[in-house]
Structure 1
């Protein structure tokens, strides 16, 4: 079954080029030219990935990203002509999975789409792990805290599953980039820091007496467990 990509881009010529490249690469593609149309298609078509322009005629991409994150962990790649690092960080901190600055090469867009959609192999031999009030389902790719679902972006969830499948082991940024983002990742390793920050926010109600994601200076990150059922 073809992966479905929703392109949200108000410049028709750019949208057409993106659609041509992605269709030729084997994806099913739909297009939206406004925020309202994008959310309607998102609800009814249920895409596997959204490519979202920052500047649209009726609303900005940041607000659409925020709305998507309230409903779904569907991967989102931001598209924009804005090259300032501030905008990159705003998108990534808001839950975007990747960022492309215009003008871009069609082949790169396809490669980024494939990288974001690539699923990690099974990371743990056990089906579930329980760390106090935190439960991790490695088969269903779900996390619950105090019996309630914990919502994360696909990239953040992949990172969290990797760390929880290796409790009390330390990984530096490069190791985490290779394991979660992939060896073909092109970007700053600070993406790891931002992902960890968002995961910590998602687990704000998890007791530090049970565990935490800790930072070891000059060494990296560790899923440090104090209590395990």
Structure 2
């Protein structure tokens, strides 16, 4: 069972989603404004935040930014169908994934379970060091110099997948399958925005990345080592 914080101002949507998530085995706390959601986040310590972007007062974009400033909790945003502005803005604010309204509970449940699995991924090898970056695959921690980095489960999983075979190129579609568990044509913006946030944390110069490199027309690779 996952503890879900649902931030949604529409009462009918909020109630129906909470009931549906309950049937899927989750326990949900509800907030109807971004301000209330942030207060609940501090006390509830949820496993996942499901966040509507169009909120009264403080909108979902600002809520997501404030969550990311102090927490690595996975955020799944609820966005209007086909609204690219919502999708891009939400991902840039730090969301891990998105579900399009009207929300299908089974789809939301699948995305919740997928994002939770990213934080439980482990390998047999203990740790690898690349220059000043240490990836402990057993403890699922990343250290740069002597500072442990606060990566979200999605950022961590992207780094683990890319660094598993340094120098090997992974396409955006491959990363969508490995990290987000999309088994169909997914949204490559999920990958690009996550890589951008990851670079901001692990690279000395994010605009000139050493660890997570872009291979134009193909995808990304980890290296040089």
CA distance in 2, matches of 1:104, 1:195: 23
Give 2:224's aligned residue.
Answer: 225
* TM-superposed deviation, 1:224: 0.9
1:1-229 mapped onto 2 (5 Å cutoff):
2-81=1-80, 83-119=82-118, 122=121, 124-184=123-183, 187-205=186-204, 211-226=210-225
Q: What TM-score does the superposition give when structure 1 sets the normalisation length?
A: 0.88
CA distance in 2, matches of 1:6, 1:186: 28
Change (3 A) 1:44 1:129: same
Superposed CA deviations along residues 22-47 of structure 1, whole A, max 9, x for unmatched, are: 00000011101112221121111110
CA distance in 2, matches of 1:207, 1:67: 22
CA distance in 2, matches of 1:75, 1:23: 19
The worse-fitting range, judged by mean Cα deviation, of 179-188 and 201-210 is 201-210
The worse-fitting range, judged by mean Cα deviation, of 71-80 and 24-33 is 71-80
Flag structure 1 segments of 5+ consecutive residues without an equivalent: none
Change (3 A) 1:85 1:214: same
Does the 8 Å contact 1:123/1:162 carry over to 2? no
What is the Cα-based RMSD across aligned positions, in Å?
2.4
* TM-superposed deviation, 1:85: 0.7
Does the 8 Å contact 1:123/1:165 carry over to 2? no
CA distance in 2, matches of 1:106, 1:29: 13
CA distance in 1, matches of 2:183, 2:6: 23
Aligned residues: 225
* TM-superposed deviation, 1:223: 0.4
Change (3 A) 1:185 1:127: farther
* TM-superposed deviation, 1:97: 1.1
Change (3 A) 1:140 1:108: same
CA distance in 2, matches of 1:47, 1:144: 25
Change (3 A) 1:208 1:81: closer
Does the 8 Å contact 2:118/2:154 carry over to 1? no
SS across alignment from 1:20: helix
Q: What TM-score does the superposition give when structure 2 sets the normalisation length?
A: 0.89
